[in-house]
């Protein structure tokens, strides 16, 4: 006897077609229209546990805002008692990355077509004040007609009102603009354009313009825009790529400059779409109302805040051996001598243990927002000995 298909609202849910750290993606069918869709399923408990409420709500809202033929479309968001269901356009052609791996370099005409579609999509995002910040072939999908679709807005940014520069270092190293690595604030639009230039190079060459086995060497090359174009690149393609991969964001060509470029304009047909399509975020707000209440409760219970959260780039720069600041600021051609410790224990356990050990050694400890101040009461052993005892005690 055939098992009845599971339904979520008007969608009949089928097989799992993808699985990530925080979500599963299932094939589903709209029973009213017969349209195939991709259903991203997230557990509310997981979202709360990893404090991802704001990030996921932002990603969903952005995908609804940036409706464009070359961007994966978000249809709607539904909520169950324990799960959130994100209904997305079902894109069947796979990743552009897989096409490059399978086929190697693409010919100039095909590369230009994908690049034109990418620029159209990115331009639309920027017109809405959205900066993707993680553009790479793995995040570019292809539909059944071979059209490009930008996906994965998990690192996207909407600049705060009155703030012109972004400051979060994020993205994939080989595709990241030098100013993003400089930790001095950057223009999201210029950074996205740089990533588009790297993608164009990869499409036509079949390999990356900047690639090294270690991060410091890679970042030096990126910062100096140290690359060369293969002999099969046409003069027009070379010229445009060099204008895009300009390490100075002030002189780097922008979207409008790219659209006016002779090489880019060849066979260019701008995509048509509804410019003033009304976007309604009511379903997003409704879905996140109850989960935000739980999130707010958790935050209030931990009124002292929490330990500093860092992304991978920031963790890398904490390592003395990989301190990259000197690569971007000649005034910082030195590395401070610092000792850092990493623990798998929860922050509260670490702080409590530090307090116990320090007080036992005649130190008066004041803790605020996970930052510690230790005042000397009497002659004691050096602080590094305290830290050593602490680490041993936590093994």
Q: Average pLDDT, whole number, for the chain?
A: 78
- Asked if the model's pLDDT at residue 106 lies above 60, the reply is yes
> Which of 35-39, 122-126, 161-165 bottoms out in mean pLDDT, i.e. has the lowest?
161-165
The annotation places the binding site for ATP at 49
Mean pLDDT along residues 9-19? 89
Strands of the chain (E only): list them. 6-8, 11-19, 23-30, 36-43, 74-79, 83-89, 140-142, 148-150, 363-368, 371-376
pLDDT of the residue at 214: 85
CATH 1.10.510.10 fits 96-265, yes or no: yes
Q: pLDDT class for 332, splitting at 50, 70, 90?
A: very low
- Asked if the model's pLDDT at residue 280 lies above 90, the reply is no
- Asked if the model's pLDDT at residue 322 lies above 50, the reply is no
Which residue from 335, 334, 337, 384 is spatially nearest to 358, judged by alpha carbons?
A: 384
> Per CATH, the architecture of 6-90+280-299 is what?
2-Layer Sandwich (3.30)
Q: pLDDT class for 295, splitting at 50, 70, 90?
A: low
Task: State the Cα–Cα distance between residues 109 and 214, nearest whole angstrom.
Answer: 34
- Asked if the model's pLDDT at residue 369 lies above 60, the reply is no
Quick one: CA dihedral 310, 316, 317, 319, positive or negative?
A: positive
DSSP 186: B
Mean pLDDT along residues 227-256? 96
pTM over 0.75: no
Task: State the Cα–Cα distance between residues 264 and 143, nearest whole angstrom.
Answer: 22
- Asked if the model's pLDDT at residue 40 lies above 50, the reply is yes
> Which of 13-17, 120-124, 231-235, 354-358 bottoms out in mean pLDDT, i.e. has the lowest?
354-358
Question: Is 290 part of the annotated catalytic residue set?
Answer: no
Task: State the Cα–Cα distance between residues 377 and 374, nearest whole angstrom.
Answer: 9
Domain parsing of the chain, residue ranges: 6-90+280-299, 96-265, 341-395
Question: What long-range pairs does 244-252 form, CB within 8 A, spacing at least 24?
Answer: 244/193, 244/194, 244/196, 244/197, 244/200, 245/194, 245/197, 245/198, 245/201, 245/209, 247/178, 247/222, 247/223, 249/177, 249/179, 249/186, 249/187, 249/190, 249/191, 249/194, 252/190, 252/193, 252/194
From 120, 134, 187, 192, the catalytic residue: 134
The larger pLDDT score, comparing residue 270 to residue 168, is at 270
DSSP 361: T
Percent of residues, the chain, with pLDDT higher than 70 = 69
């Amino acid at each position: 006897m055939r098992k009845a298909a599971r339904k979520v609202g008007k969608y009949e849910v089928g097989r799992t077609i993808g699985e990530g750290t925080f979500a599963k993606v299932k094939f589903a069918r709209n029973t009213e229209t017969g349209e195939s869709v991709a259903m991203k399923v997230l557990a509310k408990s997981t979202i709360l546990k990893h404090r991802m409420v704001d990030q996921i709500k932002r990603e969903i809202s952005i995908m609804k805002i940036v409706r464009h033929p070359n961007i994966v479309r978000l249809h709607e968001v539904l909520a169950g008692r324990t799960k959130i269901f994100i209904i997305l356009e079902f894109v069947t052609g796979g990743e552009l990355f897989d096409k490059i791996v399978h086929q190697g370099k693409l010919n100039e005409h095909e590369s230009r077509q994908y690049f034109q579609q990418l620029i159209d999509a990115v331009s639309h995002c920027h017109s809405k004040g959205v900066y993707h910040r993680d553009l790479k072939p793995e995040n570019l999908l292809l539909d059944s007609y071979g059209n490009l679709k930008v996906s994965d807005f998990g690192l996207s940014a909407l600049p705060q009102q009155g703030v012109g520069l972004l400051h979060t270092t994020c993205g994939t190293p080989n595709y990241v603009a030098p100013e993003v690595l400089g930790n001095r604030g950057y223009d999201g639009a210029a950074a996205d354009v740089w990533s588009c230039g790297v993608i164009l190079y990869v499409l036509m060459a079949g390999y990356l313009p900047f690639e090294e086995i270690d991060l410091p060497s890679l970042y030096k090359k990126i910062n100096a825009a140290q690359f060369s174009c293969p002999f099969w690149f046409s003069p027009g393609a070379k010229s445009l790529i060099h204008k895009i991969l300009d390490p100075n964001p002030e002189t780097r060509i922008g979207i409008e400059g790219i659209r006016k470029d002779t090489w880019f304009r060849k066979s260019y047909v701008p995509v048509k779409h509804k410019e003033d399509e009304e976007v309604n975020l009511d379903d997003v707000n409704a879905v996140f109302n109850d989960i935000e209440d739980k999130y707010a409760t958790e935050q209030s219970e931990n009124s002292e805040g929490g330990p500093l959260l860092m992304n991978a780039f920031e963790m890398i720069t904490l390592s003395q051996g990989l301190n990259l600041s000197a690569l971007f600021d000649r005034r910082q051609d030195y590395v401070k001598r610092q000792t850092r410790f990493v623990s798998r224990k929860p922050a509260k356990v670490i702080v409590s243990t530090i307090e116990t050990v320090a007080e036992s050694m005649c130190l008066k400890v004041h803790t605020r927002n996970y930052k510690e101040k230790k005042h000397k009461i009497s002659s004691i052993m050096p602080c590094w000995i305290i830290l050593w005892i602490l680490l041993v005690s936590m093994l």
